[in-house]
Amino acid sequence: MVSTPGDNVLADFASVVDAVQCAVEIQQVLRAKNAMLPENRRVEFRIGINLGDVIEEEDSIYGDGVNIAARMESLAEAGGICISESAYQQIENKLPLRYDYMGEHEVKNIAKPVRVYRARIESEAAPSKLGKEKKPVGKGLSKAALGIIAVVVIAGAVIFYQLVLRPSPSKTEVASKEKMAFPLPDKPSIAVLPFVNMSKDPKQEYFSDGMTEDIITDLSKISGLLVIARNSTFSYKGKSVKVKQVAEELGVRYVLEGSVRRAGDEIRINAQLIDAMTGVHLWAERYDGTMSKIFALQDKITQKIVSALEVKLTGGEKEQVGQKETANIAAYNALLEGWNQFYRYTPDASAKAAAFFKKAIELDPDYGRAYAALAQVYYQATLFTPLLSGHKMSWIEGRLRFREYTQMAMKKPTSRSYEASSLLYLSRRQHKEAISELEQGLALDPNSPGCLFNLGRALYFIGRPKEGIEYLNKKMRLDPRNNYVYLVALSWAHFCMGEFAEAATFMEQAASLNPEGGSEGSLATIYGALGRDQDARAMLERRRKKSGVAPDVRVAMFNMPFGDRAIGNRYAEGLLKAGYAPAKISGGYFPAFKENQLTGEEIKSLLLGSRITGIDQDGQQWWVDRKKNGEFTWRGPALKDPITQKIISAPTLAGPNSDSGKSRIEGDMICHQFQKSYWGLEYCGTVFRNPRGTNESKDEYFFCHDIGFEPFSLVKGG
């Protein structure tokens, strides 16, 4: 009978002779296999043998005989065999082996010390001379003492099967370098497939998915590896695919696959790393533990991969890899449940994701990853506005919540929080700062598809599209099964180069891949730039019918933060030709370009101690009186959501709304915080001159806030 407790193989035999013969043959076969492998790929096992009482119950064996055999295994050297005195007495002169006495050793739960002998395996001994007949004890003795039998414990059950018993792969199972979708890089490349949920409870799926994503996250921090992104590897979830197919489609040499079984607090993880080019299993392990040891188990897997692929870590990577940022297991579990909801992309699931992330923060208020995750929920909801209904909030509130939790996440920054922070800088046209944030994110996570993608965008926004495409291609290499966003970005990069026909082709390809992705507005703009006015207006009408909202230049320009004036002008002209409603500002759009931007000192001089006024989208006027210390009072109409145009703060019964608050200067920004309006949340913005503005039209300047554009002028004599 054979059992596999933990990481070991345990087998019982009818005699000690049979047991030792089997052990010697195993070690000799392994020696022969190791002789054909380079040193870094060789694996050696320890084997322990005892003669003693064991009990069989439900296909498992246990008892004092097993305990002593396990102790023998732990005392054996790599590639060696240790036997107890009881076994030695039975075998001493019956096999052509020599033995070394190793003294007495304590065994847990065994009253007397056990005498231990080491069996010497002569290199010239052939397996055929030892005989192969093995007579395992029969079954059917439920919960009965089986008597005096031999017990063998072999360390590394799963590896033993993979390296010794598993049949060699055929040529058809080996990946072909010629069939790779991408050339293999100079450094090791790996894809981590979704771990299979082996728990009886299907609701534990979130845990196996979370384990997979955490391993990907840890490996991504290593600059010496190319790690395929989660979005691409999870495209294989629930599908029966061969390692060969995965390797060729993703362009990687190594594939990690595994399973997770969770029962209450107990966890069992099986993982194996496969070289797709040879079919060889570099290692396979089983890890047992409890939830309190979950981070240590993940670290063991990561370290095994790093060791097997001979990757050298930099000093910073040694600190970063395996860093989980919390010791609170309940908070970590809530984070995993939140991500499970996040990737469902429905209003209800988005709200549940936020609730789980908030729970993680309540359990550990210093949990940086949870703040970054919550920020990402709100950013996603403002990007795909139907999700906002699940949160029962306006676009403005979603945007301000995104900023709020990004600021919290930046107290303990990760690559995700740097990416989120960069998006806020981009919207305020602070391109230099955005690029700096993304570079810091990539320093922490060289394999971050989000940081690479947004760095590519930031570069084409400021007029460096060729450099931007290089980063977009790097993102595509890491996330090859997520083509839609890549094609959209590639389209805008070519638009920035003035290659409108190519831009249209890429955007059309994106639209065909994802008809519900909302590409109609982008196509309308590109067609407008191409002079295809009829096609542009037809596409814009299609977008209007789908969204139910009349597209306008104000919102479109805010969402595309061009910093290069020539490109920004080109984009605005395309919008207007397509039929977008002009922004209610002199000139028809907001020229948020560097040459028009005010410095922090200029903002301070202009706004502190002054009175300003502006006119909103509905033609209603507002006023702000600001003291030198930044304190201000505000009067104006009801606040509206810029996307839906729905009122988000009702006017008072007597006259216009009023509120107070305080402003502060931070770098080249001014930040505002109302007492009541905007949920009391702070928001910041840059300030630009409008070259075409006038005092009469109250648009000589405009704010470029976290929440949109806002034109204003100084009140003369105010």
pLDDT tens digits, 509-544:
999 999 988 899 999 999 999 999 999 999 999 988
Q: Are strands 144-155 and 114-120 parallel, antiparallel or unpaired?
A: unpaired
Per the DSSP assignment, residues forming a β-bridge with 100 are 118
Indicate the DSSP class of residue 700. S
Instruction: Provide the H-helix boundaries in 61-190.
Output: 64-75, 85-91, 157-160
- Angle 597-603-609 from CA coordinates, rounded to 5°: 155
Between CA 12 and CA 26 the distance in angstroms is 15
Three-state secondary structure call for residue 564? coil
Residue 628: band (very low, low, confident or very high) from pLDDT cuts 50, 70, 90: very high
The residues, any chain, with a CB within 8 Å of residue 47's CB and separated by 6 or more, are 23, 26, 27, 73, 76, 80, 81, 82, 152, 153, 154, 155
Q: Which helix (H) or strand (E) holds 23?
A: helix 16-35
Q: Are strands 683-689 and 701-705 parallel, antiparallel or unpaired?
A: antiparallel
Two tokens at 146? 């089986």
Q: Which helix (H) or strand (E) holds 312?
A: none
Model pTM score: 0.78
Q: What pLDDT is stored for residue 148 in this prediction? A: 40
**How far from the centroid of its chain's Cα atoms is residue 475's Cα?**
13
Other C-beta atoms closer than 10 Å to the C-beta of 277 total 17
Three-state secondary structure call for residue 432? helix
Longest dimension (CA), the chain: 113
- Count of CA atoms in the C-beta half-sphere (13 A) of 181: 15
Amino acid of residue 361: I
Between 11-25, 218-232, 371-385, the lowest mean confidence (pLDDT) is in: 11-25
Residue 626 has pLDDT above 90, yes or no: yes
Q: Are strands 708-714 and 701-705 parallel, antiparallel or unpaired?
A: antiparallel
Q: Are strands 81-84 and 144-155 parallel, antiparallel or unpaired?
A: unpaired
Residue 4: band (very low, low, confident or very high) from pLDDT cuts 50, 70, 90: very low
Better pLDDT: 649 or 155: 649
Q: Average pLDDT for residues 447-473, to the nearest whole number? A: 97
Q: Average pLDDT for residues 481-505, to the nearest whole number? A: 96
Q: What pLDDT is stored for residue 387 in this prediction? A: 95
The residues, any chain, with a CB within 8 Å of residue 66's CB and separated by 6 or more, are 10, 50, 54, 151, 153
Please, what CATH class does the domain formed by 171-320 belong to?
alpha beta
pLDDT tens digits, 549-606:
778 899 999 999 999 999 999 999 999 999 999 999 999 999 999 999 999 999 999 9
Q: Are strands 226-227 and 266-275 parallel, antiparallel or unpaired?
A: unpaired
Between CA 559 and CA 556 the distance in angstroms is 5
Residue 381: band (very low, low, confident or very high) from pLDDT cuts 50, 70, 90: very high
pLDDT tens digits, 247-292:
999 999 999 999 999 988 899 998 999 999 998 888 888 888 999 9
Two tokens at 353? 């994701």
**How far from the centroid of its chain's Cα atoms is residue 216's Cα?**
6
Residue 316: band (very low, low, confident or very high) from pLDDT cuts 50, 70, 90: confident
Work out the angle between the directed axes of helices 500-513 and 520-530 (0-180°, nearest 10).
160
Between CA 186 and CA 175 the distance in angstroms is 17
Amino acid of residue 668: D
Architecture of the domain defined by 482-582: Alpha Horseshoe (1.25)
pLDDT tens digits, 121-171:
764 333 333 333 333 333 333 333 333 445 555 554 444 544 444 555 555
The domain ranges of the chain are 2-165, 171-320, 482-582, 594-714
Q: What pLDDT is stored for residue 89 in this prediction? A: 84
Other C-beta atoms closer than 10 Å to the C-beta of 614 total 21
**Could you write out the three-class secondary structure of 170-198?**
CHHHCCCHHHCCCCCCCCCEEEECCCEEC
Between CA 151 and CA 69 the distance in angstroms is 6
Give 606-613 contacts, CB < 8 A, sequence gap 24+: 606/687, 606/701, 606/714, 607/663, 607/670, 607/687, 608/663, 608/665, 610/714, 610/715, 610/718, 611/714, 611/715, 611/718, 612/712, 612/713, 612/714, 612/715, 612/718, 613/698, 613/712, 613/713, 613/715
- The answer to whether 50 and 83 are in contact (CB under 8 A) is yes
Two tokens at 12? 């019982």
**Mean pLDDT, the chain, integer:** 86
- Count of CA atoms in the C-beta half-sphere (13 A) of 83: 26
- The answer to whether 176 and 81 are in contact (CB under 8 A) is no
Better pLDDT: 422 or 84: 422
Compute the radius of gyration of the chain from its Cα atoms: 33
Terminal C-alpha separation, the chain: 94
**C-alpha dist (Å) from residue 165 to 76, 244, 257, 518:** 22, 21, 19, 53
Residue 672 has pLDDT above 90, yes or no: yes
- The answer to whether 630 and 638 are in contact (CB under 8 A) is no
Per the DSSP assignment, residues forming a β-bridge with 374 are none
Residue 35 has pLDDT above 80, yes or no: no
Two tokens at 477? 């290499």
Q: What pLDDT is stored for residue 283 in this prediction? A: 85
Residue 699 has pLDDT above 80, yes or no: yes
CATH topology of domain 594-714: Lipocalin (2.40.128)
Between CA 603 and CA 598 the distance in angstroms is 6
Residue 61 has pLDDT above 60, yes or no: no
Handedness of CA 33, 37, 43, 46 (dihedral sign): positive
Q: What pLDDT is stored for residue 690 in this prediction? A: 97
Per the DSSP assignment, residues forming a β-bridge with 419 are none
Indicate the DSSP class of residue 279. T
Residue 633 has pLDDT above 50, yes or no: yes
Three-state secondary structure call for residue 56? strand
Other C-beta atoms closer than 10 Å to the C-beta of 534 total 8
Q: What pLDDT is stored for residue 36 in this prediction? A: 61
Q: What pLDDT is stored for residue 30 in this prediction? A: 77
DSSP annotation string for 94-115: TSS-EEEEEEEE--TT-SS-EE
DSSP annotation string for 542-599: HHHHHH-S--BHHHHHHHS---SHHHHHHHHHHHHHHTPBPPSSTTSS----GGGBPP
pLDDT tens digits, 409-436:
999 999 999 999 999 999 999 999 999 9
Q: Which helix (H) or strand (E) holds 553?
A: helix 553-559
Domain at 2-165, CATH homologous superfamily = Nucleotide cyclase, GGDEF domain (3.30.70.1230)
- Count of CA atoms in the C-beta half-sphere (13 A) of 711: 27
